[in-house]
């Protein structure tokens, strides 16, 4: 932890296990679109470990300043200047990308924003790319742990639009956006890393 910079203990705890999985997916050179860069801890950690990638940080206009100081301090050549991105706006102010990554956003966004996120990624993701989404998810409408149930109650107390999403609903959004859930990895603290890829056409 660097004193004076915005800091997330959750990011510090999960960055290593997430990286282990991302290194299995982001194997070729290309640009990674990160949605919801937050404090920038993930961007710095992943970019250091995967120098073959260009990392494009983005965040909501109201939150984008949280990452600026850390990214400036890191000054990594493969981290691009952060872009303000409200996922519900159209068109997105981003250029083409090969990969997409987002951590702990689906339960913070309103459901229509989650829909916009999948739709826009589905429209832009190339056939060789992938979208990795990290966070807690319910299974068949049920919590996967007591801690997730408590977390969901905490989220809904903060704002009615927040809440842990159901894996089946997320998968349906992906299918509608031309993506399919290809991998699902159990992660620490009752989280999961979901890997979505472009659906292959069948003849």
pLDDT at res. 95: 87
Please report, in tens digits, the pLDDT of each residue of the chain (203 residues total). 446 899 999 999 999 999 999 999 999 999 999 999 999 999 999 999 999 999 999 999 999 999 999 999 999 999 999 999 999 999 999 989 999 999 999 999 999 999 999 999 999 999 999 999 999 999 999 999 999 999 999 999 999 999 999 999 999 999 999 999 999 999 999 999 999 999 976 55
Domain boundaries, the chain: 9-198
pLDDT at res. 2: 47
Q: How many CA atoms lie within 13 A of 121 on its CB side?
A: 33
Q: Are 42 and 26 in contact (CB under 8 A)?
A: no
pLDDT at res. 152: 97
Determine the 3-state secondary structure of 142 from DSSP: strand
pLDDT at res. 1: 47
pLDDT at res. 200: 79
Q: For domain 9-198, which CATH number applies: 1.10.10.60, 3.40.47.10, 1.10.630.10, 3.40.50.150?
A: 3.40.50.150
Which DSSP letter does residue 67 get? Answer: G
Distances (CA, A) of 108 to 89, 104, 121, 132, 163: 17, 7, 18, 17, 7
The pTM (predicted TM-score) of the whole model is: 0.97
């Amino acid at each position: 932890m660097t004193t004076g910079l915005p800091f997330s203990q959750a990011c510090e705890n999960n960055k290593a296990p997430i990286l282990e999985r991302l290194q299995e997916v982001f194997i070729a050179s290309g640009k990674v679109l990160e949605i919801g860069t937050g404090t920038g801890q993930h961007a710095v950690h992943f970019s250091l470990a995967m120098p073959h990638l260009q990392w494009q940080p983005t965040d909501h206009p109201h939150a984008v300043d949280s990452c600026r100081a850390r990214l400036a301090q890191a000054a990594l050549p493969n981290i691009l200047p952060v872009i303000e991105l409200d996922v519900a706006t159209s068109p997105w102010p981003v250029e083409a990308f090969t990969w997409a990554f987002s951590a702990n956003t689906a339960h913070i966004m309103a459901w229509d924003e989650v829909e916009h996120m999948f739709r826009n990624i589905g429209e832009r993701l190339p056939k060789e790319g992938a979208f990795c989404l990290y966070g807690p998810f319910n299974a068949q409408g049920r919590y996967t742990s007591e801690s997730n149930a408590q977390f969901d109650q905490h989220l809904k107390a903060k704002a009615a639009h927040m809440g842990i999403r159901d894996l089946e609903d997320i998968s349906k959004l992906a299918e509608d956006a031309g993506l399919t859930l290809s991998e699902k990895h159990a992660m620490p603290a009752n989280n999961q890393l979901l890997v979505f890829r472009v659906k292959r056409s069948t003849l």
